[in-house]
Amino acid sequence: MTALFVPKRPVIMAYPKMPEAFAEAEAMSGYLKEKGIDAPFGSLYDEDLRKLVRAGEFDMLIAAGGDGSVLRAGHLCAPSGVPIFGVNLGRIGFLIQVNRNEWREYFDKLLNGESWIENRMMLHAHHIRAGESLGDWNALNEVVVGRGRILRPVRLTATVDGLELTSYVADGLIASTPTGSTAYALAAGGPILPPELRNILIVPIAPHLSVDRGVVLSEGSSIRITVRSDNAVISVDGQPPIDLMDDDHVDVCAADVTTQFVRFGDPGYFYRNLTAHMNENSLGLPR
């Protein structure tokens, strides 16, 4: 938990495929204007606004949408250290503390100095082929090396800090942050990690005659995933997959930037949020 935070130059960005997000963003902008704060609003894909965020023109980004919107905001904001205030207009909202009917209340708390900044670890992934760098990305949730359109398992070897860990025959391998432990890694059977940790979680997807347990690496460790198949792809935070070739490497380590979130109350909000979502899901199960 870090020092209290009161923004002076916020920007509001809405998920463009969610029509109600723009109406909420406009209402938020008007509400802040009544409080004497100018907060421009627009699409999360508005390149003019994105350039201003990258240049550090704003000291907070309010993301109106769902968890996917917050992921995209994280990729945008992390390099320039801009904190994110998420307002959940979607379904799940693991990453978001404030729902659509609560933002006025939380805006008042924000302006009264009742918020704090939470830093969450990101991953850095580097794609290498025959010694040549083909791309690198930062991830807030996870890096996935998995099977592509051909429906057969991939063969992967995982090396940790230069030492071989194990080989997998599986639908894929997830390298996850603690934040991502409640996303794809959770669906694949991995453990839930507290968000303040800086460990990497490795979880196989549908392993066949391979190690079927998740592994939590010590803080500061790095992993190299070597492809031993011709049908593998890499996807970062659910973005469109990129084809990999046999003997390609994907190196994953902690990124040198973090995603910052505006939070309220004590750090126990994470477990309350998690419990609420799990109870919500359990209500839909047959008894």
For residue 215, list its beta bridge partners.
202
Distance of CA 105 to the CA centre of its chain: 26
Q: Write out the DSSP string of 66-123.
A: -HHHHHHHHHHHGGGT--EEEEE-SS--TT--EETTTHHHHHHHHHTT-EEEEEEEEE
Other CB atoms closer than 10 Å to residue 2's CB: what's the count?
A: 10
- What is the three-class DSSP state of 21? helix
Q: What is the pLDDT of residue 161?
A: 97
Residue 14 counted as domain residue: yes
Nearest of 81, 77, 66 to residue 16 by alpha carbon: 66
Residue pair 123/177 in contact by the 8 Å Cβ criterion: yes
Same domain, 180 and 244: yes
Helices 67-77 and 47-54: angle between axes, nearest 10 degrees: 50
* Number of domains into which the chain is organized: 2
What is the average pLDDT score of the chain? 93
State the chain's maximal CA–CA distance in angstroms: 62
Same domain, 274 and 202: no
Q: What is the pLDDT of residue 279?
A: 64
Same domain, 34 and 50: yes
Same domain, 219 and 189: yes
Q: What is the pLDDT of residue 286?
A: 37
192, two tokens: 């839930």
CA–CA distance, 100 with 90 (Å, rounded to integer) = 9
Q: Which of 67, 171, 237, 251 is catalytic?
A: 67
Same domain, 126 and 247: yes
Residue 2 counted as domain residue: no
- Which residue range forms the structural domain that includes residue 271? 10-114+265-283
Residue 81 counted as domain residue: yes
Same domain, 161 and 272: no
Same domain, 142 and 193: yes
Query: What CATH number has the domain bearing residue 49?
Result: 3.40.50.10330
Same domain, 185 and 204: yes
Same domain, 214 and 244: yes
Residue 4 counted as domain residue: no
Active site residue 67: yes
Residue 5 counted as domain residue: no
pLDDT tens sequence across 149-195: 888 999 999 999 999 999 999 999 999 999 999 999 999 999 999 99
Q: What is the pLDDT of residue 191?
A: 95
Cα–Cα–Cα angle for 119, 139, 89, nearest 5°?
Answer: 75
Query: What CATH number has the domain bearing residue 205?
Result: 2.60.200.30
Same domain, 109 and 175: no
Residues of the chain with pLDDT under 50: 282-287
The total number of residues written for the chain in this structure: 287
Same domain, 142 and 71: no
| Residues 243, 249, 252, 257, CA torsion sign | negative
Same domain, 133 and 105: no
Residue 135 counted as domain residue: yes
28, two tokens: 């938020």
Residue 150 counted as domain residue: yes
Residue 84 counted as domain residue: yes
